Amino acid sequence: MKDERNLQTVENFVPAWKKTPNQLRIEGIISTYKETHRLTDNWPYYADDSGIFIRLIKENQKDPEKIYVRNLIKKDGFPEDAEAEILDQLESWVSKNTEGSAVWLSPPFPGKYPCSKIIFHQVAYEYGTLDKVILNSAVLFDADKKDILELVHKHFPQTWKIYNVEELRSVLILPRNDVDFNLLLQEISQLDKNVNSEKEQIPHDLLVKKAAYISDLISSGANPRIVAYEMQKTGLLGNFSISCPASLLQGSASFSEMIPVTLDMKDQFGSLSFSCPKCGRTNTRPYGKLISNCRHCGADVRC
């Protein structure tokens, strides 16, 4: 059943993907691969005085275009309105802080989100330009409401008054400095044994090539069902549920449905380099991995 459901969801995605720029489409395909294989999804946002944005480099365009996230998300009822509150909180927090981490949780929602998603946000700085970057990591998992609340209360004591998991959707959690994110991820994987359990991952350069092949199929006007079957055949479509089987047309996505756009990051297919906000020296984070401390001064960078 999951195979058929994912095939149908990708088939529904194709008309929206066809209308998006190629680089955005490729990232959407990669994100679908990660979600359906229960792998951590990583992507950056940028920030300036006007808010949080993604950078899109169009063909024959030298400078990247800024696309503000608030102009892409929809706010037309629940749960979209609740997630829009998170964006407001995140932009406010980012504007006031030069470092730190934030967390929020998008629980399941009937007919829209089949599983939970926990999203980590980390303030960092782009190597060279020192532009402020928000590094994001999303982990999908299945767990009952009681276990989710116990997990959140344990690692984030400030949430102890929350007894309805749905309330977490509009709460940006600012962790204490002593929170161990790796331990949190380990405990999530104990609740859902499928989280990051895949041993054989497609190397990232090959993953990009496969996603580009699917993108070309979509551009050529291939039948959406054929596209879905090709994604399955190439290993890009796994058996685990896609977090948001809704239309991903730009301007109609909720905040947690935002497709990551990372193609203009420095060395984005291998590692992400950024400057420590304390000492200014360069750190390199392997793509898809987390680090906790600056490798030069030991400052807490958690990214």
- The least confident of 82-96, 105-119, 154-168, 204-218 is 105-119
Angle at 262 (CA atoms; ends 281, 75), nearest 5 degrees = 120
Name the residue with tokens 């959140």: 152
Residue 234 has pLDDT above 70, yes or no: yes
Residue 249 has pLDDT above 70, yes or no: no
pLDDT band for position 285 (cuts 50, 70, 90)? low
Q: Tell whether omega for the bond before 79 is within 30 degrees of 0, i.e. cis.
A: yes
Q: What is the pLDDT of residue 28?
A: 85
Q: What is the mean pLDDT of residues 72-78?
A: 78
Strand order in the sheet with 132-141: 65-68, 51-56, 41-48, 132-141, 116-125, 101-106
pLDDT band for position 60 (cuts 50, 70, 90)? low
Query: Which of 56, 87, 55, 91 is closest to 74 using CA atoms?
Result: 87
Residue 64 has pLDDT above 80, yes or no: no
Tokens of 104: 């929020």
Residue 289 has pLDDT above 60, yes or no: no
Q: What is the three-class DSSP state of 53?
A: strand
Return the bridge partners of 67, or none.
54
pLDDT band for position 176 (cuts 50, 70, 90)? confident
- Asked if 107 and 168 touch (Cβ cutoff 8 Å), the reply is yes
**Residues 6 or more apart whose Cβ sits within 8 Å of residue 23:** 56, 57, 261, 263
Residue 171 has pLDDT above 90, yes or no: yes
Residue 75 has pLDDT above 50, yes or no: yes
Please give the backbone phi and psi of residue 187, each rounded to the nearest 5 degrees, phi first: -70, -30
pLDDT band for position 43 (cuts 50, 70, 90)? confident
Q: What is the pLDDT of residue 268?
A: 35
Mean pLDDT is highest, among 59-73, 169-183, 244-258, for 169-183
Q: Report how far residue 212's alpha carbon sits from residue 177's, in angstroms, rounded to the nearest whole number.
A: 40
Would you list the domain boundaries of the chain? Answer: 2-286
Q: What is the three-class DSSP state of 130?
A: coil
Q: What are 2-5's contacts with CB under 8 Å, separation 24+?
A: 2/239, 2/240, 2/241, 3/232, 3/239, 5/241, 5/245
**Residues 6 or more apart whose Cβ sits within 8 Å of residue 63:** none
Tokens of 136: 């994001």
- Asked if 237 and 32 touch (Cβ cutoff 8 Å), the reply is yes
Q: What is the three-class DSSP state of 244?
A: coil
Instruction: Name the residue type at position 245.
Output: P
